[in-house]
Amino acid sequence: MEIMAKPLTKNIRLDRAFATLADYESTGGYQGLRKTISQLQPKDVQQWVKDAGLRGRGGAGFGTGLKWSLVPVDDLSQTRYLVANADEMEPGTFKDRMLLEQDPHQLIEGMIIAAYAIQAQKAYIFLRGEYHVAKFRLEQALLEAKSKGYLGEHVLDSEFSLDIVLHTGAGRYICGEETALLNALEGKRATPRAKPPFPLVSGLWGKPTVVNNVETLCNVPHILHYGVEWYQGLARGVDKGTKLFGASGRVKSPGLWELPMGTPIREIIEQHAGGMRDGCTLRGFLPGGASTDFLLPEHLDVVMDFEAVAKAGSRMGTGVIIVLDDKTCPVRMVLNLEQFFAQESCGWCTPCRDGLPWTVTLLKDIIAGKGRIEDLDTLAGLTRMLGPGNTFCALAPGAVEPLQSALKYFRADFERYIAMERA
Amino acid sequence: MNEPIFEGLSLAEIREINAEMSHYENKTAVSIEALKIVQKHRRWVSDQCLIAVAELLDISAEQLEGVATFYNLIYRQPVGKTVIHYCNSVTCWMLGSDQVGESLCRHLNVELGEMSADGEYTVLPIVCLGACDHAPVVMVGNELKFDINEDAVNEIFGR
């Protein structure tokens, strides 16, 4: 039953031990790959994943099957790459770490199937340098997969061969941006690249490259094993499948749960996370990481679907919620967020490099009692100037999301600091 | 121990760096791995090592310096035997990471980034370590430690 309702976390154990190859195989592991290799053409795999409705779990929600179908495969002799984005660094997000540490074969199987779908001969796992346990376990799992013939020359005795290289990063948030990640893999500063050309056409060393998030790839084996209809039936809302949702902050039981897409936010915070700690009240939350807009208690009945959260004025992002309680000052929380983004800006384009430190200066002044009411207009202006379309990549537009929504929902808190100075 | 043969790099380091090259299209791609290998052996990357790595990879020292200074986990200054990274991102901050950082520094009588007098430790802030359900968290060397409070800080230093 668990296998069918919770495909992603069925092997996750409370003691944090990890699923060996034998454990993984005993719950249907590598069956999706066997079916793929023996029965399906690459185009079929793309179509299955497209029909299943799998959307990227890294935050942007792009259709995974569609992404794969855009890779040019006319020239089969050309090199193509698959990259698993395991550079989880969105503050407040801790979902991929669990998948990497506790069920590494799930990612590996997903990668082999994805590589087959785009006929990539080489794949990289771009792992956060700080994820030491994941590194150790992935290394072991890669060896196991190779020894069993799932990976390497002639996968399951087929014509398809694949090499997976584990690369560990040296730490920088911008590496999560796919073109910056490619520069990091090439041994350069991780500054984003201009698009177009998109990585699907010209990515790693100028070759067609697909970059998929860890959780996205972990969905793939199950779609191939159990089928499109089963996958679609998992969800409660518009988007398909299950997802790892979580909550952190002053809730009773912070954690991570695999739940159907379309699960109401209220259920995640009140049931799974056990509600607020005694003596704390919910003031708001960031639904999917640091770079998503604040929502309020009145939005608790919004469901975790890409469109539904967007309609409420935010983004589902990574689906891991950061809870703001009444003991935490929203202005200081936003300062912490903007300090993070200012520090992690790669410095490549001017609005981000200069704009984010400016928001930090203004917020610090306000908190120090040196703010003026006009500063709130300047901050609002900055959220527009750093917004979509004005910067090279999505870092700055994401960075101003919590700021713009805090100015809207918690304006009184900002004004109180400014009034204090007057008094 | 390791016989230095490449103006500032040991044989072991050179071997490890060369072994990485087979995984990538060109030598440049090994830059980050190479810096990490040097650090594994020496804890930090000195100017001399940086220049030697650049020579080994056929890139300019300036380009490699641009890479080295870009990433949070490459140290261009000496650090202690164990680097303690404490997460200061949003959830950890909310649950007391400022106090954790202060407490770590107070125990060692150092400023952030400074090496303790005995050369054992350096304390640095780090961005979200992906363990927000156990905030605040710290990473002692390679080991993640959960739910950090004053007692847990004492425990880190065996007190």
Measured CA to CA, the distance from residue B78 to residue B113 in angstroms comes to 9
Question: Does ipTM top 0.85?
Answer: yes
Structural contact between residues A108 and A150, judged by C-beta atoms closer than 8 angstroms: yes
Segment A343-401, tens digit of pLDDT: 999 999 999 999 999 999 999 999 999 999 999 999 999 999 999 999 999 999 999 99
Measured CA to CA, the distance from residue A296 to residue A325 in angstroms comes to 11
Residues of A within 8 A of B93 (CB-CB) are 333, 336
Nearest-neighbour CA in chain B from A187: distance (Å): 4
* Chain A residue with minimum CA distance to B98: A336
- For the cut 90, the answer to whether the pLDDT of residue B35 exceeds it is yes
Identify whether B136 is preceded by a cis peptide bond (ω within 30 of 0): yes
Nearest-neighbour CA in chain A from B131: distance (Å): 6
Mapped onto helix, strand or coil, the DSSP state of residue A255 is strand
Buried b (16+ CB within 10 A) or exposed e, A92-106: bbbbbbbbbbbbbbb
Task: Give the pLDDT score at B2.
Answer: 47
The number of angstroms, rounded, from the C-alpha of A209 to the middle of its chain's C-alpha atoms is 18
- For the cut 70, the answer to whether the pLDDT of residue A181 exceeds it is yes
- For the cut 60, the answer to whether the pLDDT of residue B3 exceeds it is no
- Is the CB of A162 inside 8 Å of chain B's CB atoms? no
Per-domain boundaries in chain A: 2-233, 242-325, 330-422
Residue B94 to residue A328, Cβ atoms within 8 A: yes
DSSP code for A191: P
Residues of A within 8 A of B17 (CB-CB) are none
The packing angle between helices A350-367 and A330-344, to 10°, is 150
- Is the CB of A127 inside 8 Å of chain B's CB atoms? no
- Looking at the partner chain, which of B32, B72, B90 has a beta carbon nearest the beta carbon of A187? B32
DSSP code for A76: T
Q: What residues contact A423, with CB distance under 8 A and at least 6 apart?
A: none
Nearest-neighbour CA in chain A from B75: distance (Å): 10
Mean pLDDT confidence for A97-113: 97
Residue A170 to residue B94, Cβ atoms within 8 A: no
Task: Give the pLDDT score at B6.
Answer: 60
- Is the CB of A336 inside 8 Å of chain B's CB atoms? yes
Percent of chain B scoring above 70 in pLDDT:
96
Q: What residues contact A33, with CB distance under 8 A and at least 6 apart?
A: A109, A112, A113, A150, A155, A156, A221, A224
Q: What residues contact A359, with CB distance under 8 A and at least 6 apart?
A: A338, A342, A379, A382, A400, A403
Strand partners, A248: A322
- Is the CB of A240 inside 8 Å of chain B's CB atoms? no
Task: Give the pLDDT score at A421.
Answer: 62
**Surface of A (70-109) touching B: CB under 8 A:** 88-94, 96-97
Q: Which of A67-81, A246-260, B71-85 has the lowest mean pLDDT?
A: A67-81
End-to-end CA distance of chain A: 63
Measured CA to CA, the distance from residue A391 to residue A247 in angstroms comes to 30
Query: Which of these, B22, B29, B70, lies nearest to A186 by C-alpha position?
Result: B29
- Read off the pTM: 0.96
- For the cut 80, the answer to whether the pLDDT of residue B159 exceeds it is no
Residue B32 to residue A170, Cβ atoms within 8 A: yes
Residue A170 to residue B71, Cβ atoms within 8 A: yes
Tokens of A403: 């700021």
Please give the full DSSP string across B49-114, using - where no structure is assigned: HHHHHHHHHTS-HHHHHHHHTTSTT--SS---SEEEEEE-SHHHHHTTHHHHHHHHHHHHT--TTP
Query: Which of these, A213, A206, A217, A218, lies nearest to A182 by C-alpha position?
Result: A206
- For the cut 60, the answer to whether the pLDDT of residue A1 exceeds it is no
Query: Which of these, A310, A292, A327, A308, lies nearest to A405 by C-alpha position?
Result: A292
Structural contact between residues A119 and A69, judged by C-beta atoms closer than 8 angstroms: no
Task: Give the pLDDT score at A4.
Answer: 83
* Chain A residue with minimum CA distance to B22: A165
Mapped onto helix, strand or coil, the DSSP state of residue A144 is helix
Measured CA to CA, the distance from residue A38 to residue A36 in angstroms comes to 6
Nearest-neighbour CA in chain B from A48: distance (Å): 31
A vs B: CB pairs below 8 A: 132
- Is the CB of A305 inside 8 Å of chain B's CB atoms? no
* Chain B residue with minimum CA distance to A322: B91
Mean pLDDT confidence for A93-117: 97
The class level of CATH for A2-233 reads alpha beta
Residue A172 to residue B71, Cβ atoms within 8 A: yes
User: Hey, of B35, B36, B59, B127, which one would you mutate to test binding to chain A, going by the most A CBs within 10 A of its CB?
Assistant: B127
* Chain A residue with minimum CA distance to B95: A249
Residue B135 to residue A248, Cβ atoms within 8 A: yes
- Looking at the partner chain, which of A91, A168, A254 has a beta carbon nearest the beta carbon of B127? A91
- For the cut 90, the answer to whether the pLDDT of residue A16 exceeds it is no
Residue B130 to residue A344, Cβ atoms within 8 A: no
Distances (CA, A) of A214 to A59, A92, A103, A130, A334: 12, 17, 11, 16, 28
Nearest-neighbour CA in chain A from B35: distance (Å): 9
Measured CA to CA, the distance from residue B33 to residue B53 in angstroms comes to 11
Tokens of A84: 């698993």
Segment A221-264, tens digit of pLDDT: 999 999 999 999 999 989 999 999 999 999 999 999 999 999 99
Task: Give the pLDDT score at A422.
Answer: 59
Measured CA to CA, the distance from residue A78 to residue A208 in angstroms comes to 9
- For the cut 70, the answer to whether the pLDDT of residue A318 exceeds it is yes
- For the cut 60, the answer to whether the pLDDT of residue B130 exceeds it is yes
User: Hey, of A78, A137, A164, A188, which one would you mutate to test binding to chain B, going by the most B CBs within 10 A of its CB?
Assistant: A188
Residues of A within 8 A of B74 (CB-CB) are 170
User: Hey, of A16, A85, A127, A130, which one would you mutate to test binding to chain B, going by the most B CBs within 10 A of its CB?
Assistant: A130
Mapped onto helix, strand or coil, the DSSP state of residue A131 is coil
Task: Give the pLDDT score at A3.
Answer: 60
Alpha helices in A130-251 (DSSP H): 132-147, 178-185, 214-226, 228-233
Query: Which of these, A257, A223, A268, A267, lies nearest to A241 by C-alpha position?
Result: A223
Residue indicated by tokens 């201009």: A194
- For the cut 50, the answer to whether the pLDDT of residue A415 exceeds it is yes
**Considering Cα of A325, then A328, then A330, then A335, what sign does the dihedral take?**
negative
The packing angle between helices B61-68 and B47-57, to 10°, is 120
Task: Specify the fold of A242-325.
Answer: Ubiquitin-like (UB roll) (3.10.20)
Rounded to 5°, angle at Cα A42 from A40 and A47: 85
Measured CA to CA, the distance from residue A23 to residue A20 in angstroms comes to 5
The class level of CATH for A330-422 reads mainly alpha
User: Hey, of B44, B133, B140, which one would you mutate to test binding to chain A, going by the most A CBs within 10 A of its CB?
Assistant: B133
User: Hey, of B40, B58, B70, which one would you mutate to test binding to chain A, going by the most A CBs within 10 A of its CB?
Assistant: B70
Sort strands A209-213 and A255-260 into parallel, antiparallel or unpaired: unpaired
Residues of A within 8 A of B35 (CB-CB) are 170
Identify whether A196 is preceded by a cis peptide bond (ω within 30 of 0): yes
Nearest-neighbour CA in chain A from B80: distance (Å): 18
* Chain A residue with minimum CA distance to B25: A205
User: Hey, of A94, A96, A322, which one would you mutate to test binding to chain B, going by the most B CBs within 10 A of its CB?
Assistant: A94
Q: What residues contact B22, with CB distance under 8 A and at least 6 apart?
A: none
